[in-house]
Homo-oligomer: A and B are copies of this chain.
Amino acid sequence: MIQGTFYIISAPSGAGKSLLLQRLLKEQLLRDIKLSISYTTRSIRPNETDGKDYFFVSKHTFKNMIAEDAFLEYAKVFGNYYGTSRESVKEILSSGIDVFLDIDWQGAKQIRTQFLLTCSIFVLPPSIQELARRLNRRAQDTEQVITQRMKQAIIEITHYSEYDYLIINDDLESALTDLKTIIYAQRLRVHNQKVRHNTLISKLLVV
């Protein structure tokens, strides 16, 4: 049985990662990719759907899940918990579907210690000006909030070299091509091809 590939994707806020993932999931030829849905204890927002954007659970449930070692990784951000369910990722992978996990460098680090065959991708904006522009565009935030967000982005960027691949998101279409190239190449990796062409290989070897 083919195992899906476990992709980890990280980026500083403002690099355009979410739009890139949205586009990837719409690709007709890549139906066998799913985005991992995290568990969270924060309140659901009006435009969100439970089970699509997040699994919204109570703090009590989340803490029970921690106690049961149900998370591949979890973190507490501004008083709310966020976590990736071990069971749901394994279930998707074992049905031969690739999982994309959209996560920060700390989560990525936790995942890499548990899964040997992850494929991790970092996305960067094309320039510091563009990064600042994208972070400013977001809302009517105070300068302080924007500066804080910029600092956070830079911290994330310092970890880019811990990843397998680096995509510069200058133009969305070409970043999407890059991402698809990485996925197609990953499928040609010997450990994936070995399972896919198992019958052929055994026939070639018993001659």
| B-binding residues in A (CB < 8 A) | 122, 124-128, 131, 150, 154, 157-158, 160-161, 163-168, 178, 181-182, 184-186, 188-190, 193-194, 197, 200-201, 203-205, 207
Query: Chain B's nearest CB lies how many Å from the CB of A18?
Result: 19
Cβ contacts under 8 Å, A182 to chain B:
185, 188
- 21 of the cross-chain contacts (CB-CB < 8 Å) are A122-B190, A124-B200, A124-B201, A127-B200, A127-B203, A128-B204, A128-B207, A150-B207, A154-B205, A161-B194, A165-B185, A166-B189, A166-B190, A166-B193, A168-B193, A168-B197, A168-B200, A181-B181, A182-B188, A184-B185, A185-B185
Complex CA gap A114/B131 in Å reads: 40
A178 to B192, CA, bound (A): 14
The answer to whether B204 touches A189 (Cβ under 8 A) is: no
Complexed CA–CA distance, A204 and B150 (Å): 10
Q: A188-B182, A194-B166 are in contact. Are A201 and B154 (CB under 8 A)?
A: no
| Shortest CB distance A147–B (Å) | 11
Rounded to whole Å, the gap between the CB of A192 and the closest CB of chain B is 8
Contact (Cβ within 8 A) B204 A188: no
- Known contacts A160-B190, A188-B182, A204-B131; decide if A197 and B166 are in contact (CB<8 Å): yes
B197:A124 contact, CB within 8 angstroms: yes
Instruction: List 6 tightest A-B contacts by C-beta distance, closest first.
Output: A185-B185, A166-B193, A166-B190, A181-B184, A165-B188, A181-B185
Q: Assess the B189–A154 pair: CB atoms within 8 A.
A: no
Set of chain B residues within 8 Å of A184, measured between Cβ atoms: 181, 185
> Do residues B204 and A124 form an inter-chain contact, with CB atoms below 8 A?
yes
Write out the residue numbers on chain B whose beta carbons fall within 8 Å of the beta carbon of A165: 185, 188-190, 193
Query: B160 and A201: CB pair below 8 A?
Result: yes
A160 to B190 Cα, complex, angstroms = 8
